[in-house]
Amino acid sequence: MAQNDTRAAGPRCIALLGPFQSGKTTLLEAILLRTGAIQRQGTVEAGTTVGDASQESRHHSMSVELSVATTTFMGDSYTFIDCPGSVEFIHDMRAVLPFVDAAVVVCEADEKKVPQLQLILRELEDLKIPHFLFLNKIDKAEKRIRDTVSVLQPASRVPLLLRQIPIWSGEIITGFTDLALERAYVYKEHAPSEIIELTGDELDREKDARFTMLETLADHDDELMEQLLEDIPPPRDKIFDDLTKELRDGLVCPVLVGTATRTNGVLRLMKALRHETPTVDKTIKRLGLKAGNDPVANVIKTFHTAHGGKMSVVRVLGGQVGDGTTFVTPEREAGRVAGVFKLLGQGSEKRGPALAGETVALGKLDHANTGDTLTAGKQAHPPLAQVTALPPVLAIAVAAKERKDDVKLGQALTRLLEEDPSLTVIHNPEAHEVVMWGQGEMHLRVATERLAGRFGVPIVTRKPTVGYRETIKKGIVQRGRHKKQSGGHGQFGDVVLDIKPLPRGSGFAFTEEIKGGVVPRNYIPSVEEGVIDALKHGPLGFQVVDIAVKLIDGSYHTVDSSDMAFRIAGRIGLVEGLPQCTPVLLEPIHQVEIVCPSEATAKMNALMAGRRGQILGFDTRAGWDGWDVVRVQMPEAEVGDLIVEVRSATAGVGSFTFKFDHMAELTGRTADQIVAARKAAAA
């Protein structure tokens, strides 16, 4: 068949992605069964699938990291990367996408999935990755397929090309017709579908749908257009050639249907992948890599096995990679390969060297990170794709449950971050806190579970401390005097301080105006130190800022004065003076930019009112049809769990970025509560 003329041979790497819970992990399982990699089809419910084998995935019955499985179909090797659907775990998908040959977007026939689907299709369109849409759970379909496709169409910038249509028997779907092959199949439970003859209405429907498909293909093929206009039946090979070409060129997104739980539609999906997806040659062209003999591989995921070894999952893009291959990146030596493994979920099998196109795990690349482009040639290669982690939106403070684990926690965090670059850890020395930033509640929960489960460090978490400050509203001149006579040597220091508020954002300024040496020069720095000591905890319990202190007078004693005595005197001056200066609480205000589908914009408005947010403006989001940007200013304390509400108002797709803007005075009940909580915590 001429199909084989355009068919590319060789190993493929295919991403399975799509909205949350659409059936990707189940589809992977069905593919592995149908291609003979496994003998029994596991289910997500029973926790028996090849994908999602980690403790955390099983526990939550959802994918929380990608799973990799390699299988063989009709003589070619296929590696599938099952990506998590939850927006909180989207980073894994983004790190992999540039290096796959094609993607299968698994989606349900559900209008509510359009926003999520749109996010995913955008990534694929922007990266120019050929992709199919697999309409899963067709066993539960209630709508005509054409209606479903028109509901989903707004999510895609290229036409969704329906190339299979279901066969209905009353209310249920019993099979499908492949419009390119012009063949009808009836589904068999857990077995390949059987070919049947189409007759009557079904045949008419097939003809209609087929014509629509051909019309879409003809938009990019003048010859086909002429054939259609002149009613000449186009040869089947031509149709397959067009399907292949238009898929690879990103002109259409072909739509297939099936039921992953019953392995229905899976064989046809595999055949489409076999005939129509490109191989690594095309992928390296897209990435701008010159074909050569030197080993080149890109790390798409890093994980640590139970027995302590680090594994780097790589797509081999050139040459041959085997034990002993020594890799470099532009910055460093990445390590020497010890072990090449074929993956099947968490199962791994040692194998021989891997060739261009294959996706394998490499052992012991201690200095390789996810995203690195590794080369073994003389010349290191700059990264073929830059995948920046999405900005984090939610934080928790973490600490080891037991003090003895403090050091272990540090190591565990390092490994955790290696596995998951969408986490950030920040040390807050002021609050003595380790703050972990992530993509949402579930993401952070899973991260803490991993620390306990995989890395053996049980931890406790709490809300991170908000960076409150305090300042004063009026000035005062205050004496600070320290005098102690205890037996032999006494202590004496005496200062007069002029304390004044400064404009917002000025910080702290210390000056002196000592005349006649009433406070000797060498003691003045100690006075300043004493003042700084006192500013650490003002009368409200917080760091005091935006304040000027001028040393204007004082006295000393030739024997009893010392650095320490003047430091204490300086502190006393402030401790006694500040409460009289009308102290006031300051809270950090952030500039927040929320992005959301336009229909949710009004909800954002309401949300801001409940969170002391001040709306600065609305805009349409550049390059995003049907999306808005809402700019607001909001107290840090309210930004804390904002993401939870933004997501729930936007079917999960809304997000935001924020950055500190200024400190603002806070008075009234909220301020009183914050001060009381601080006092209680300090007591």
Ligand X SMILES: Nc1nc2c(ncn2[C@@H]2O[C@H](COP(=O)(O)OP(=O)(O)OP(=O)(O)O)[C@@H](O)[C@H]2O)c(=O)[nH]1
Name the site residues for ligand X (rule: CB under 6 A): 20-26, 43-45, 62-63, 84-86, 136-137, 139-140, 259-261
Residue in this structure with the two tokens 């009381």, named with its chain if needed: 676
Query: Of the two residues 3 and 54, which places its CB atom closer to Mg ion in the complex?
Result: 54
Query: Of the two residues 51 and 570, which places its CB atom closer to ligand X in the complex?
Result: 51
Shortest approach of Mg ion to residue 274 CB, angstroms? 23
DSSP code for 288: T
What does each C-alpha distance from 462 to 410, 448, 659 come to in angstroms? 18, 12, 22
Look up residue 292 and give its amino acid: G
Shortest approach of ligand X to residue 164 CB, angstroms? 15
Shortest approach of ligand X to residue 96 CB, angstroms? 14
**Nearest-angstrom CA–CA distance, 590 and 634:** 5
Query: Of the two residues 24 and 163, which places its CB atom closer to Mg ion in the complex?
Result: 24
Identify which of 18, 38, 185 has the alpha carbon closest to the alpha carbon of residue 89: 18
* Using rule CB under 5 A, residue 54 touches Mg ion: no
Q: Residue 127's binding partner, choosing from ligand X, Mg ion, none, with beta-carbon cut-off 5 to 8 A by kind? A: none
**Nearest-angstrom CA–CA distance, 143 and 665:** 56
**Nearest-angstrom CA–CA distance, 13 and 9:** 12
3-state secondary structure of 32: helix
The piece of 25-33, 134-142, 319-327, 359-367 that touches Mg ion (CB under 5 A) is 25-33
Query: Of the two residues 445 and 571, which places its CB atom closer to ligand X in the complex?
Result: 445
Query: Of the two residues 86 and 118, which places its CB atom closer to ligand X in the complex?
Result: 86
Q: Residue 261's binding partner, choosing from Mg ion, ligand X, none, with beta-carbon cut-off 5 to 8 A by kind? A: ligand X
Shortest approach of ligand X to residue 646 CB, angstroms? 20
The piece of 22-30, 189-197, 465-473, 595-603 that touches Mg ion (CB under 5 A) is 22-30
Query: Of the two residues 67 and 633, which places its CB atom closer to Mg ion in the complex?
Result: 67
Site for Mg ion (CB under 5 A): which residue of 12, 24, 205, 590?
24
Query: Of the two residues 108 and 372, which places its CB atom closer to ligand X in the complex?
Result: 108
Shortest approach of Mg ion to residue 102 CB, angstroms? 19
Look up residue 398 and give its amino acid: V
Question: Whose CB is nearest to ligand X?
Answer: 85
Contact call for residues 254 and 163 (beta carbons, < 8 A): yes
Query: Of the two residues 319 and 345, which places its CB atom closer to Mg ion in the complex?
Result: 345
Q: Residue 137's binding partner, choosing from ligand X, Mg ion, none, with beta-carbon cut-off 5 to 8 A by kind? A: ligand X
Shortest approach of ligand X to residue 256 CB, angstroms? 13
Instruction: Please list, in sequence order, all residues whose beta carbon lies within 8 angstroms of the beta carbon of residue 265, skipping any fewer than 6 positions away.
Output: 134, 138, 164, 176, 187, 193, 256, 257, 258, 259
Query: Of the two residues 345 and 357, which places its CB atom closer to ligand X in the complex?
Result: 345
Q: Residue 22's binding partner, choosing from Mg ion, ligand X, none, with beta-carbon cut-off 5 to 8 A by kind? A: ligand X
Shortest approach of ligand X to residue 125 CB, angstroms? 21
Shortest approach of ligand X to residue 44 CB, angstroms? 4
Q: Is 190 left (phi over 0), alpha (psi -120 to 50) or beta?
A: left
Shortest approach of ligand X to residue 194 CB, angstroms? 19
Query: Of the two residues 93 and 149, which places its CB atom closer to Mg ion in the complex?
Result: 93
**Nearest-angstrom CA–CA distance, 417 and 427:** 14
The piece of 23-31, 129-137, 235-243, 287-295 that touches Mg ion (CB under 5 A) is 23-31
Looking only at residues 348 through 387 of this chain, which bind Mg ion when binding is defined by CB under 5 A? Answer: none
**Nearest-angstrom CA–CA distance, 201 and 164:** 16
Polymer length in residues for the chain: 683
Instruction: Please list, in sequence order, all residues whose beta carbon lies within 8 angstroms of the beta carbon of residue 203, skipping any fewer than 6 positions away.
Output: none
**Nearest-angstrom CA–CA distance, 277 and 103:** 9
Look up residue 412 and give its amino acid: A
Rounded to 5 degrees, what angle do the CA atoms 31, 79, 347 make?
A: 85
Q: Residue 259's binding partner, choosing from ligand X, Mg ion, none, with beta-carbon cut-off 5 to 8 A by kind? A: ligand X
Query: Of the two residues 266 and 416, which places its CB atom closer to ligand X in the complex?
Result: 266
- The residues that bridge with 472 in the sheet, in sequence order, are 583
**Nearest-angstrom CA–CA distance, 480 and 474:** 18
Site for Mg ion (CB under 5 A): which residue of 63, 79, 193, 325?
63
Q: Which two tokens stand for residue 543?
A: 């760091």
Site for Mg ion (CB under 5 A): which residue of 3, 22, 25, 302?
25
Number of Cβ within a 10 Å radius of residue 35: 18
> Dihedrals φ, ψ of 276, to 5°?
-110, -25
Shortest approach of Mg ion to residue 60 CB, angstroms? 11
Shortest approach of ligand X to residue 92 CB, angstroms? 10
The piece of 21-29, 313-321, 483-491, 526-534 that touches Mg ion (CB under 5 A) is 21-29
Q: Residue 21's binding partner, choosing from ligand X, Mg ion, none, with beta-carbon cut-off 5 to 8 A by kind? A: ligand X
Shortest approach of ligand X to residue 264 CB, angstroms? 8
Q: Residue 370's binding partner, choosing from ligand X, Mg ion, none, with beta-carbon cut-off 5 to 8 A by kind? A: none
Query: Of the two residues 258 and 577, which places its CB atom closer to Mg ion in the complex?
Result: 258
Shortest approach of Mg ion to residue 35 CB, angstroms? 18
Beta strand pairing call for 253-257 and 160-162: parallel
Alpha-helical regions (H) of 545-658: 563-577, 601-609, 636-639, 642-648
Shortest approach of Mg ion to residue 85 CB, angstroms? 6
The piece of 57-65, 285-293, 302-310, 604-612 that touches Mg ion (CB under 5 A) is 57-65
Instruction: Please list, in sequence order, all residues whose beta carbon lies within 8 angstroms of the beta carbon of residue 670, skipping any fewer than 6 positions away.
Output: none
The piece of 18-26, 399-407, 641-649, 665-673 that touches Mg ion (CB under 5 A) is 18-26
Query: Of the two residues 25 and 325, which places its CB atom closer to Mg ion in the complex?
Result: 25
Q: Residue 136's binding partner, choosing from Mg ion, ligand X, none, with beta-carbon cut-off 5 to 8 A by kind? A: ligand X
Q: What is the DSSP string of 105-148?
A: EEEES-GGGHHHHHHHHHHHHHHT--EEEEEE-GGG--S-HHHH
- The residues that bridge with 312 in the sheet, in sequence order, are 302, 362
**Nearest-angstrom CA–CA distance, 240 and 42:** 34
What does each C-alpha distance from 646 to 164, 358, 393, 471 come to in angstroms? 37, 40, 11, 33
- The footprint of Mg ion (CB under 5 A) covers 24-25, 63
